Chains A and B, each alone.
Chain A
Amino acid sequence: MNNRGEVIGEGIIMIYRLSLVSLIAVVVWGISSVSYAHYIDVRDAEARVLARSVVECVSPDGVLDLDIIPDEGRKNIFSYCGFEDFEVGRFYVELKVESSGKVTRLSQGDSGALWVLEIFKNDEVSEGLRKYEPGYYDWSYPVYVLDEGNKFVAEVKGQVLINNEF
């Protein structure tokens, strides 16, 4: 009876020791995974490429014809330009056409993501969190606009924001 008790006791102690060793191994492996992981951020480059695609779509040859872009298209500019919704779920684009005090907006996506960008403008954000910083590109360019039969020169200010893929 004593022998059986001893064997069981030793078995329990062995299980405990092996669990402890396994836990330590997993913790060290986890720390090494974090140390050797490296995130390559290409979202700023993606933002520039997307900006070019949208500009070529809405203003081919430097002429932006607002008469042919329906209201639905102005609120879903990616879809208007032929992109699938699932492709552009992490993007936000906005084009503001400004002329003589009148502003026309073409956009799609969650504009609330812009505040996330504001957080990362703070230099105190640690490097580990930087991979969550959205990719961003803003630009402006002059363009001829056709609107309600009128043709005039306007300034287009655009911004593209790309969220992380996680």
Chain B
Amino acid sequence: MEFQLKMKNKRGGLLQQTIVHIVLVGLIFALFLFATADKINSRGVRQQVLEKQVALLIDSAVPGMSFVIEKNNLNGLVQRVEVRDGKVFVMVEGLSSFKGYPYFSKYSVSVREEDNKFVVSINE
């Protein structure tokens, strides 16, 4: 009787241990899958495309020019466009930009947000 009780306790303990292991490993893999999914959906590449296109447009623009970036873009939903410290930052589908892409211009560059677009203007 005592022996049977000991065996039951041991089996119960082993089962509990295994369940805890499975849950923790499952959590780790869930985190890993979310992180990988973020890379696979290519938001980073699309953000890169937008930032570099805008930077090249600013580089070649002269005063009086302005160009529009639609929020519903081919490269995804553009949520924010900023120019600061000589760099362009574009936020696409929730992916913030920390590095941006540098542009060069002798002129003043500004961005204003309208209903469904961002307007980048180049002034003297």
Residues of A at under 8 Å CB distance from B?
10, 14, 17-18, 21-22, 25-26, 28-29, 32-33, 36-40, 42, 45-46, 49-50, 52-53, 81-84, 86-88, 90-91, 165
Contacts and interface: CB of A to CB of B under 8 A. Distances in A.
B101 A165 contact: yes
Contacts, number: 76
A114 B52 CA distance: 24
Given A14-B21, A87-B104, A40 B48 contact: yes
B contact face: mostly helix, strand, loop, or mixed: helix
Contact of B59 (A14, A28, A36, A50): A50
17 contacts: A14-B24, A18-B25, A21-B29, A22-B28, A25-B28, A25-B31, A29-B32, A29-B36, A36-B39, A36-B40, A46-B104, A50-B59, A50-B104, A53-B106, A87-B86, A165-B99, A165-B102
A18 B106 contact: no
A82 B63 CA distance: 14
A contact face: mostly helix, strand, loop, or mixed: helix
Contacts of A86: 85-86
Q: Which of A39, A42, A53, A83 has the largest number of chain B CB atoms within 10 A?
A: A42
B104 A88 contact: yes
Interface residues of B, number: 32
A29 B106 contact: no
